[in-house]
Amino acid sequence: MPIQYYIYLSLALFCIGIAGVLTRRNAIIIFMSVELMLNAVNLLLVAFSKMHHAVATAVDKVNNVGTDGQIFVFFVMVVAAAEVSVGLAIIVMMYRNAHSVDVNFLNRLKN
């Protein structure tokens, strides 16, 4: 498939994620939108990895160009998992204190 298709798909998912962050006030939905954006990026990384592999294979049959991209996706997932565990803990904490998951309650820095 032409690489542009994957890029367009990723961009669309990414911007949907952004729209989610911008339009929703529920902290959990915002968090999910962030996960969506991360996945869009992961998809793009894998697509690029395969694109580079295709270019390299045209020159040399046996190669492992593009491995780095997928390893990178692996680490993104690692970090995302860690982030989710901490983030959800924070949201639970917030709910416990404010009895709400509205991000607009998180404006104490204003004063």
Partner 1 sequence: MNVIQVLFWILSAMALVSALMVLLSKNPVHSVLWLVAVFFAISGHYILLNAQFIAIVNLIVYAGAIMVLFLFVIMLMNLNKDTEPQKNIWMKLAGAISAGCLLMILVSLIKQAPELQAKTAMMNEGGIGLIANLGKALFNTYVVPFEISSILFLSAMVGAVVIGKKD
Partner 2 sequence: MSQLVYLVPLLPLAGFLINGLLRKSLSKQAVSIIGCGVILIAFLISLGLFFQVKANGPIIQTYFNFIDIKGLNIPFSFQVDALSVLFMLIITGVGFLIHVYSTSYMHEESTPHFARYFSFLNLFVFSMLLLVMGGNYLILFLGWEGVGLCSYLLIGYWFKNTDYNYAAKKAFIMNRIGDVGFLLGIFWLVAKLGTLTYGNVFAAAGNLSAVDVTGITILLFIGATGKSAQIPLYTWLPDAMAGPTPVSALIHAATMVTAGVYMIARSNILYSMSAVTENVIAIIGIATVLLAATIAIKQNDIKKVLAYSTVSQLGYMFLGLGVGAYNGAVFHVMTHAFFKALLFLGAGSVIHAMGNEQDIRKMGGLRKYMPVTHITFLLGCLAISGIPPFSGFFSKDEILAAAYAKNPVLWVLGVAGAALTAFYMFRLYATTFLGSFRGTHDQEHHLHESPAAITLPLIALAILSVIGGWIGIPAVMIPDANAFHHFLQPVITTEAIAEMPHATEWLLMVVSVAVAVIAILIALGKFTKRPELNEPQGLGGFLAHKWYIDELYDAVIVNPLNALAGFFKNIIEKSGIDGIVNGVGRFILYSSRQVRLVQSGQVGSYILFMVLAIIVLVLIWINDGYIYTYLSKIF
Residues 49-108 that bind partner 2 (CB under 8 A): 103-104, 106-108
Nearest CA to 65 out of 51, 76, 77, 75 is that of 51
- 94, 105 Cβ separation under 8 angstroms: yes
83 binds, among partner 2, partner 1, none (CB under 5 to 8 A by kind): partner 1
Q: How far apart are CA 88 and CA 74, in angstroms?
A: 21
97 binds, among partner 2, partner 1, none (CB under 5 to 8 A by kind): none
Part in contact with partner 2 (CB under 8 A); list of ranges 18-26, 43-51, 73-81, 88-96 = 18-26
| Angle, helix 67-98 to helix 27-59, in steps of 10 degrees | 180
Q: How far apart are CA 40 and CA 62, in angstroms?
A: 29
Part in contact with partner 2 (CB under 8 A); list of ranges 16-24, 43-51, 58-66, 82-90 = 16-24
Residue placing its CB nearer to partner 2 in the complex, 37 or 45 = 37
Residues in contact with partner 2 by the rule CB under 8 A:
18, 21-22, 25, 103-104, 106-111
